[in-house]
Amino acid sequence: MISSQLGGKQLDNTFQSFIYRFPSYFYILYYNATQFIMTLKEEQLDDVLKCLVDRLSDEKKYDDVRKKYAELIGKLSMKWNETQLIDAFNSLIDIFNAIDDSYDAFNAVREAIAEITVKLPGRQFDNAFNYLISRLNSRNNAYYLFIRLHKDWMKNK
């Protein structure tokens, strides 16, 4: 196996090249990709997050592909540190505000935001929750997020 012959930096560079050149690996082999990603180091998870957010933000991608990226972001959030969670939340909020709510990807982004928000630590959770409440008047779908967050928050108490 080639990877066993590479040093740490070489392996990281190879991995980074792989995720940016073959992003379809993440949504075509969804289950296997998730298992693989769960074994990555923190720095590699940063690269995966950036790649997934970039692909999700790409409006030229098909809706079902963008939906898979959003689902992966939500699922992988259990492995991220606080900074990664905050970055993911902020990125998803930007996408949520920009994406047309008639797409399936919109619903997947909304779900990923809910999954990530309940994992945020105290003050960050409060800030995210308050932000989402402030958005209730400007976007009907924010109401769904509020209900979902409330259920998850009560379940975790």
Q: Hey, is 81 helix, strand or coil?
A: coil
Answer yes or no: is pLDDT of 117 > 70.
yes
**Per-residue buried b or exposed e for 65-85, using 16+ beta carbons within 10 Å of the residue's own CB:** bbbbbbbbbbbbbebbeeebb
Residue 88 has a pLDDT of: 92
What is the domain range of residue 102? 2-156
Which token pair is 27? Answer: 């949504």
Count of structural domains, the chain: 1
Task: From 73, 78, 103, select the one nearest 89 (Cα to Cα).
Answer: 73
Residue 47 has a pLDDT of: 83
Residue 103 has a pLDDT of: 78
Q: Which of 8-12, 100-104, 112-116 has the lowest mean pLDDT?
A: 8-12
Place of tokens 């047309």: 100
The predicted-structure confidence for 39-82, as pLDDT tens digits, reads as follows 777 888 888 888 888 888 888 888 888 888 888 888 888 888 89
How far apart CA 104 and CA 16 sit, in angstroms, is: 28
Split at pLDDT 50, 70, 90, the class of 101 is: confident
Which token pair is 109? Answer: 């982004």
- In the predicted model, what is the mean pLDDT of residues 116-132? 84
How far apart CA 121 and CA 107 sit, in angstroms, is: 24
How many C-beta neighbours within 10 Å does residue 49 have?
A: 22
Answer yes or no: is pLDDT of 135 > 80.
no
Residue 3 has a pLDDT of: 46
Q: Cβ distance 57 to 93 under 8 Å?
A: no
